[in-house]
Amino acid sequence: MNEHEQPAQPSAAELKTKVAEDVQSVTDFARNEATAATDKAKDAATDQKNVIAHKLGDVAMAMEKVAAELEGGENRDIGRLTRNLGNNLRSASDSIQDRSLGEIAGMAEDFGRKQPLAFLSIAAIAGLAASRFITSSAPKSDRSASSPKNPAESRPVSGLPSTLVASTNVVTTEGRFND
């Protein structure tokens, strides 16, 4: 081969085939990554579902203990009501634990269709509870750091002392000043 000879250029058909292979490779890679991410999200959601079901079971157990104490005292009616609530929570907990996320979403959708007012009420209460939880778990700003400890530090930006005092002079209807 001579120094001045150039290597053979690939034909248009070869380039087209190579580009098609590369596109297919990228598509397969993206599909595999999306499937893996979806599987991870489903696993995380299932784990959270199980945690919520466990917490509901704990609340149900606590309510049943309170019900037993109330039924043993003078508040039998409230105790029975509390026991019923505890039993309903326990069955909800078991129901959540035994179902997939799709089934739970279907149950919520059916409930929303059958009981729209109750569904909206529960959604509003859940939203309020979530907002309270988020605001209570947010880091608190140190109020003592933002307000000056020394009153002299609260001077206006100009550096001059603040002399805003309400005037005590009052003009009467006759144009005279009264102190």
- Domain spans of the chain, in order of start: 12-98, 104-136
Specify whether the CB–CB gap between 60 and 93 falls below 8 A. yes
Please list the alpha-helical segments (H only) found in 116-163: 116-137, 143-146
Q: pLDDT per position in the chain (179 positions), as tens? A: 455 556 667 788 888 999 999 999 999 999 999 999 998 988 888 888 888 888 888 888 998 999 999 888 888 898 898 888 888 888 888 888 888 888 888 888 998 899 888 888 888 887 887 788 788 877 776 554 445 555 555 555 545 454 544 455 555 555 555 55
Show the tokens assigned to 129: 């509870």
Tell me the whole-structure pTM to 2 decimals: 0.47
Residues in the chain: 179
- Dist. CA 11–CA 28, nearest whole Å: 26
Q: Tell me the three-class secondary structure of 1-25, residue by residue.
A: CCCCCCCCCCCHHHHHHHHHHHHHH
Q: Look-up: residue for tokens 């893996």?
A: 36
- Dist. CA 107–CA 112, nearest whole Å: 9
